[in-house]
Amino acid sequence: MNKKIAIIGAGNVGASCAMYLAEANLADVVMVDIIEGVPQGKGLDLTQAGPVRGYNATVTGTNDFKDIKGADIVIMTAGLPRKPGMSREDLLNMNADIIASVAKEIKKYAPKSFILVVSNPLDLMTFHMQKKTGFPKNRVFGQAGVLDSTRFRAFVSMELDVAMTDIQAMVLGGHGDTMVPLPRYTTVAGIPIAELIPKDRIKSISERTRDGGGEIVKLLKTGSAYYAPAAATVDMCRSVFNDEKKVLPVSAYLTGEYGIKDIYIGVPVVLGANGVERIIELKLSKTELEALQKSAGTYKEHLKILGY
């Protein structure tokens, strides 16, 4: 393997990312964590699964940032998890400090990497990471809408009892309570869901998608989702490494698109070998556009807390 992916944080999301990346034979993986033994143990465990699972990617763990040297992609998963009753915004100041310290290490050891942020509150941490590294904006992006759209697809599949792989969905806006599911752009084998599902059920599915992370937090009680977030993250890595140019909803930096600028928020982008290669502007209804702009406005206010 010539390609290398560094994962910051060897918790549930980081370790699940490492497993999915290895199984895809996408790149060699190094996990970095501050807890001694944890990344090393998980890395060794995943390496030992390789002969049975049929992958040749190496998975290693370390407590030293110098081991991320030369990484092509850095996945930022480290941070304090959301607990029941805690909003993503509650995490803001606590996780901003972690982002700032990691940004310094990425600049030093992997200055040519792409950075894929998964830490919450997602859109704000992606903005903070870009500012702290100074990397080009196309090389710093957040995993938001891919996960939210995946959840939407799963819920539509449950509703209709059809193959999940036949469903395409689009969810825009902030990764949180202000996200904007777009049923108009959600299809089953090309058929709009409005032709298959009653309006009230679509509304219910959209709301469940919006609360998707919170629903899992309540069920787990001591943590948050990790399998689906990791799967969505690996999908994005694949699109960059293989130059797939997939159209995916990603937290990207806007410069006037949708009437929004100077903020990271979830929008459809073409994701390829140059990272965020272009932003696609969908024709939104007045209600949809207002919801997206309201989402952006909320994050503008939160950025002030960080001094932006």
Q: Which residues are catalytic?
A: 175
DSSP class of residue 63 equals S
User: Are the CB atoms for 42 and 69 separated by under 8 Å?
Assistant: no
Q: How far apart are CA 234 and CA 263, in angstroms?
A: 24
What DSSP assignment string belongs to 211-246?
A: THHHHHHHHHSS----HHHHHHHHHHHHHHHTT--E
Burial class (CB in 10 A: 0-12, 13-18, 19+), 301: exposed
Which residues does residue 197 pair with via DSSP β-bridges, in sequence order? none
Which residues are within 8 A (CB) of 197 and not within 5 positions of it... i.e. 6 or more apart? 156, 159, 160, 205
Q: How far apart are CA 306 and CA 301, in angstroms?
A: 10
Per the rule left: phi > 0, alpha: psi between -120 and 50, beta: everything else, 21 is alpha
